[in-house]
């Protein structure tokens, strides 16, 4: 092996180590949280810690309680038991953009902010980060699906959240737009550094974006793993495929021989 190749391999091996968040401040602390619907324990004394800057993806079968947990962290639902400690500065990006049709794009971005903070300049700066500043004065009805979701992301980031909650934000997008949005989210989260929780059904999406992946099983975290791949990531390769297969197995998806 040449010296140059040996150095490249050594650098690659070093880069492939997962990021260490053990010394970062705790942003989210969930302790023994339970949520019961019609006598069914959707969340059963669940414990979870997410640290500042950490990107966590949450997988689980339909009905496993992923969105219920996200709603509790967002303050949109309350647990029946236990406690969820979260930063006051937190925002949610949902599957639907949820833009107000009677307001232009830039006004949607700063909606809900105190009047002294809700300036056009601030909105346009946030839109520029998602490549949408040229549509600041457009009406939501004229946006494509991807543009509308980028506006929703700008609305979340303009608040400078310490916790960003993503509830399947790419599910309604076409495959190509979804890939672009995944890369955009990854870049922006690395730039802004919030603690991030992504709820998704897409195993490959979780591996591409997350520092850590959780699988929700029987109302608690049944599997918790770091992603030992450097950013930026591409689908494929031995480490990627091995992790994907393990996650699918944890989700009860049989693997072909």
Which residues lie across from 199 on neighbouring strands?
Answer: 58, 167
Q: Is the peptide bond before 46 cis (omega within 30 degrees of 0)?
A: no
Name all domains of the chain by residue range, CATH numbers in brackets: 50-99+161-250 (3.40.50.300)
Give the Cα separation of 24 and 143 in Å (integer). Answer: 38
Tens of pLDDT, residue by residue over 197-243, are: 999 999 999 999 999 999 999 899 999 999 999 888 889 999 999 99
Range 157-163 average pLDDT: 95
Q: Give yes or no for residue 61 having a pLDDT over 60.
A: yes
* 4 vs 110, more confident: 110
What strand order describes the sheet that includes 26-37?
40-51, 26-37, 81-85
Tens of pLDDT, residue by residue over 36-59, are: 998 889 999 999 999 999 999 999
Residue 239 pLDDT: 93
Give the Cα separation of 197 and 27 in Å (integer). Answer: 11
- Strand 220-226, strand 163-167: pairing: unpaired
Range 157-170 average pLDDT: 94
Return the closest-CA partner of residue 154 out of 133, 176, 179. Answer: 133
Give the Cα separation of 108 and 98 in Å (integer). Answer: 9
């Amino acid at each position: 092996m040449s010296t140059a190749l040996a150095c490249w391999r050594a650098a690659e091996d070093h880069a492939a180590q997962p990021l260490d968040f053990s010394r970062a401040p705790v942003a989210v602390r969930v302790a023994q949280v339970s949520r019961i619907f019609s006598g069914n324990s959707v969340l059963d004394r669940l414990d979870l810690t997410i640290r500042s800057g950490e990107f966590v993806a949450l997988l689980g079968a339909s009905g496993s309680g992923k969105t219920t947990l996200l709603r509790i962290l967002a303050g949109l639902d309350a647990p029946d038991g236990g406690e969820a400690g979260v930063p006051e500065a937190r925002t949610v990006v949902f599957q639907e953009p949820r833009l107000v049709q009677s307001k232009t794009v830039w006004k949607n971005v700063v909606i809900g902010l105190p009047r002294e903070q809700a300036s056009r300049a601030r909105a346009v700066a946030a839109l520029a980060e998602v490549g949408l500043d040229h549509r600041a004065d457009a009406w939501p009805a004229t946006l494509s699906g991807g543009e509308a979701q980028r506006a929703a992301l700008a609305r979340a980031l303009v608040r400078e959240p310490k916790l960003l909650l993503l509830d399947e934000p790419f599910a309604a997008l076409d495959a190509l737009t979804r890939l672009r949005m995944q890369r955009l989210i990854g870049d922006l989260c690395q730039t802004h550094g919030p603690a991030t929780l992504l709820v998704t059904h897409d195993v490959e999406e979780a591996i591409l974006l997350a520092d850590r992946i959780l699988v929700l099983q029987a109302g608690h975290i049944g599997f918790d793993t770091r992603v030992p791949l450097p950013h930026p990531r591409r689908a494929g390769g031995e480490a990627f495929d091995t992790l994907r297969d393990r996650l699918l197995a944890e989700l009860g998806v049989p693997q072909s021989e």
